[in-house]
Amino acid sequence: MTHIAKVIVVGAGPSGLLLSLILSQQGIKTTLVDMAETLDAAPRATHYAWPAQYEFIRAGVFEEILAAGFRVDNSVSWRKLDGTLLGQIDIENIPEQERMVCLPLNGLAKILYGRITKEENAEVLWGHKVTSIGQDASRAWIHVVTAEGENRLEADYIVGCDGANSQIRRSLFGDLEFPGMTWDQQIVATNAYYPDMASAGWGDDSAFLVDKDHWSMIARIQTDGLLRITYGEVPGLTREEYIARQPAKYKALLPGHPDPDKFKVVNISPYKVHQRLAKSMREGRFLLAADAAHLCNPFGGLGLTGGLVDVGNLSDCLVGIHKGLADETILDRYSEVRRQKYKDVVNPTSSANMRLLWQDGETAEQDEFFRLLTKARNDPAITQEMATSIHRIMHDFRKEYNIKSNGQVVDTR
């Protein structure tokens, strides 16, 4: 006997796509709805640490993702604006499996979507904007607006994977109820080709520039040489003003200080950055995952990685209920555990990653982090420990299944 007839997932970003794929693979009928007409192509996530890779492996998509992207096999460095090395992670001291995998989000989404279209338990409804929600003891529902008019869709459970401005979260807790903070600092994320980057001789896959005015990150994100260049900017300008300032920012921060004829920008997006956590990730038959539930700044690539671990955890909980191996209280545990992981790991680590960048490059050597990196160069165990510390965001809910095959309820917690 199975226990879940249908799950609706709101939001066909990477988290909603992965969740729909896993649930439908596990025999749960899934409807994925998104207000957009197609997959998003904005320059956002690119790097995925081991906890996300583990979920890709379990969903059977890892090999395809790795083939479309690449494993980070060169050093990760922190440098002064003039390129002087402040600290470096020697990649050869990190076991291959622990190295980040890089694939821009649009490439990842394409692969996940391609797999979903082959699953008979999954359907995808584009152009469906959720406007309000409701639930009673046995069902949950959403009201959607489409080009054809309004509709109501219902299911046993509904998961909000609808991103930072989640309508599901706002309907559950109120429009302004997303505890946390917004950084004063603004960032601008760009994708660009800059062939002369190689002549700087840095040899890094990712370099972070530590500087009060031009703090930034330069990372290789495609094997054809495409770079992600993300930099800090003054707050409060319009999108057009940020676009107009981009050539001057590149000239200031890129090695070789290039004029516009030396690079080609293919994408540019200013972002405000936040550290926020929803007050619960479960409210009755509604659940939240990934950006809908929590936000962090992008330095260190913890945002979506944390979101994909939510998805793996939540699918284990729902599959446990579906197969009669767990009761509904496991969903409260999902909320409790994932929120705690954000508080203990994602929020402090990502905040420290960003603060590290905007100090004075000239005095930054004294920073504890760079002193640790210097020590790590002579002690590979330190590098390994740093690389594997991200495992702390993982949790195995299958160990919390509490119903035996004879129906007896046991306490596993």
Ligand X SMILES: Cc1cc2nc3c(=O)[nH]c(=O)nc-3n(C[C@H](O)[C@H](O)[C@H](O)COP(=O)(O)OP(=O)(O)OC[C@H]3O[C@@H](n4cnc5c(N)ncnc54)[C@H](O)[C@@H]3O)c2cc1C
Decide whether 155 or 325 has the Cβ nearer to ligand X. Answer: 155
Q: Looking at 34, 98, 205, 211, which residue binds ligand X (CB under 6 A)? A: 34
163: contact with ligand X by CB under 6 A? yes
Strand order in the sheet with 286-288: 122-125, 30-33, 7-10, 157-160, 286-288, 282-283
Decide whether 221 or 325 has the Cβ nearer to ligand X. Answer: 221
87: contact with ligand X by CB under 6 A? no
Q: Find the shortest distance in angstroms from Cβ 199 to ligand X.
A: 26
Of 208-216, 239-247, 302-310, 383-391: span binding ligand X (CB under 6 A): 302-310
Q: Looking at 16, 87, 270, 361, which residue binds ligand X (CB under 6 A)? A: 16
Euclidean distance between CA atoms 237 and 252, whole angstroms? 19
270: contact with ligand X by CB under 6 A? no
8: contact with ligand X by CB under 6 A? no
Number of chain positions touching ligand X (CB under 6 A): 35
Of 53-61, 279-287, 294-302, 388-396: span binding ligand X (CB under 6 A): 294-302
Q: What is the CA 214 to chain-centroid distance, rounded?
A: 24
**Computed from CA positions of residues 197, 198, 199, 203, in that sequence, does the dihedral angle turn out positive or negative?**
positive
Looking at the DSSP assignment, which residues form a beta bridge with residue 89? 76
Q: What is the CA 107 to chain-centroid distance, rounded?
A: 14
Q: Find the shortest distance in angstroms from Cβ 26 to ligand X.
A: 20
Q: Name the helix (H) or strand (E) containing 70.
A: strand 70-71
155: contact with ligand X by CB under 6 A? no
Q: Find the shortest distance in angstroms from Cβ 253 to ligand X.
A: 16
259: CB partners within 8 A, 6+ apart: 247, 251
* Nearest position to ligand X, beta carbon: 13
Q: Looking at 232, 298, 312, 361, which residue binds ligand X (CB under 6 A)? A: 298
Q: What is the CA 32 to chain-centroid distance, rounded?
A: 19
State the binding string over 42-81 for ligand X (x if CB under 6 A, else -).
Answer: --xxxx----------------------------------
DSSP 292: G
Half-sphere exposure for 274 (CA within 13 Å, toward CB)? 17
14: contact with ligand X by CB under 6 A? yes
Euclidean distance between CA atoms 30 and 156, whole angstroms? 10
Please name the residue ranges forming H helices in 255-405. 303-322, 329-341, 347-355, 368-376, 380-388
Decide whether 130 or 278 has the Cβ nearer to ligand X. Answer: 130
Residues near ligand X, by CB under 6 A: 10-16, 33-36, 40, 44-47, 105, 129-130, 161-163, 167, 189, 230, 271, 290-291, 298, 301-305, 307
